[in-house]
Chain A
């Protein structure tokens, strides 16, 4: 069982690194899009306030929650493989 524990621990660490990197990337892409949106329309309102409101919406949005798939998909794939390759 030790190798399984080792796989789980190192897998969790690796996926956490990927999760952090992807969430930074996703946030950065969203901020850039908000900036470009404001610059193109020169509005509405104050630039900083517009971006802050947009990021607030992003923090509560579905897209940010979808980042949990970084953990869910590999775990599901590994579980499916163990079942299909050994017990199917």
Chain B
């Protein structure tokens, strides 16, 4: 039983952490090397792509904007650049075309690098062909700039506060509604029980009168 409980807890914890890790913003410092647009036919990886750009229609495929970049250690990373619109995750990103222009403007060569902090969410995974979605770009001094994840801190603090409030509300509900109701039910059952016992007693007494015992 203990193993089942811990498996369940670990599964739920893994799910929550994965969702947060996918959805919360992260910032990479990279050098943008190219921007382009490719048509994507969505397959089993459809779940990891956002919606069509705000105001445009949905088809079975569409053109997706990409930003190609190189990390300071020389490894490459490719971002997609899609509107999230009014859906999930709640970045309310409507400006993917503008962001693409900004990215093109920040292209630099290895000889004269311009370092860009790319805020993004999502994962790069070669097995499913999925890409992180770039949210915003800003030029920074160099590859070693320290970035404090304020958004993540605020969001996680808010989530902890909400969980705490839900717990408090449930405790209050239990104390003020469920426990008194349970007490009333127990009381009623006790009453019925004692009444039934006295009924049985009375029948026994009545039977007793046939055997000449006086009623109590």
**Is A40 interfacial (CB 8 A cutoff)?**
no
Given known contacts A3-B85, A7-B86, A85 and B93 CB-to-CB distance under 8 angstroms: yes
- Assess whether A4 is in contact with B94, with CB atoms less than 8 Å apart: no
**Is A21 interfacial (CB 8 A cutoff)?**
yes
**Is A48 interfacial (CB 8 A cutoff)?**
no
CB interface residues, B 74-113, toward A, < 8 Å = 85-87, 90-95, 98
- Assess whether A81 is in contact with B91, with CB atoms less than 8 Å apart: yes
Residues of B contacting A1 with CB < 8 Å? 55
- Assess whether A25 is in contact with B169, with CB atoms less than 8 Å apart: yes
Q: Size range of the interface on A?
A: 10 to 19
Name B's interface SS. loop
Give bound CA distance, A87 to B86, whole Å.
16
Give bound CA distance, A16 to B172, whole Å.
20
Q: Quick one: which of B86, B93, B172, B176 contacts A86, CB cutoff 8 A?
A: B93
Give bound CA distance, A78 to B86, whole Å.
10
- Assess whether B176 is in contact with A82, with CB atoms less than 8 Å apart: no
Interchain nearest-CB distance for B98 vs A (Å): 8
- Assess whether A28 is in contact with B95, with CB atoms less than 8 Å apart: no
**Is A32 interfacial (CB 8 A cutoff)?**
yes
- Assess whether B86 is in contact with A85, with CB atoms less than 8 Å apart: no
CB interface residues, A 44-88, toward B, < 8 Å = 78, 81-82, 85-87
- Assess whether B169 is in contact with A85, with CB atoms less than 8 Å apart: no
Given known contacts A6-B86, A85-B136, A29 and B94 CB-to-CB distance under 8 angstroms: no
- The residue of chain B having its C-beta at the shortest distance from the C-beta of A80 within the complex is B92
Interchain nearest-CB distance for A80 vs B (Å): 10
Interface string of A1-12 (1 = CB under 8 A from B): 101101100000
Q: Quick one: which of A3, A22, A28, A81 contacts B87, CB cutoff 8 A?
A: A3
Residues of B contacting A22 with CB < 8 Å? 169
- Assess whether A82 is in contact with B92, with CB atoms less than 8 Å apart: yes
Residues of B contacting A28 with CB < 8 Å? 172-173, 176
Given known contacts A25-B172, A82-B94, A3 and B86 CB-to-CB distance under 8 angstroms: yes
A-B contact pairs, 23 of them (CB 8 A): A3-B54, A3-B85, A3-B86, A3-B87, A4-B86, A7-B86, A21-B169, A25-B169, A25-B173, A28-B173, A28-B176, A29-B172, A32-B172, A32-B175, A78-B90, A78-B92, A81-B90, A81-B92, A85-B92, A85-B95, A85-B135, A85-B136, A87-B95
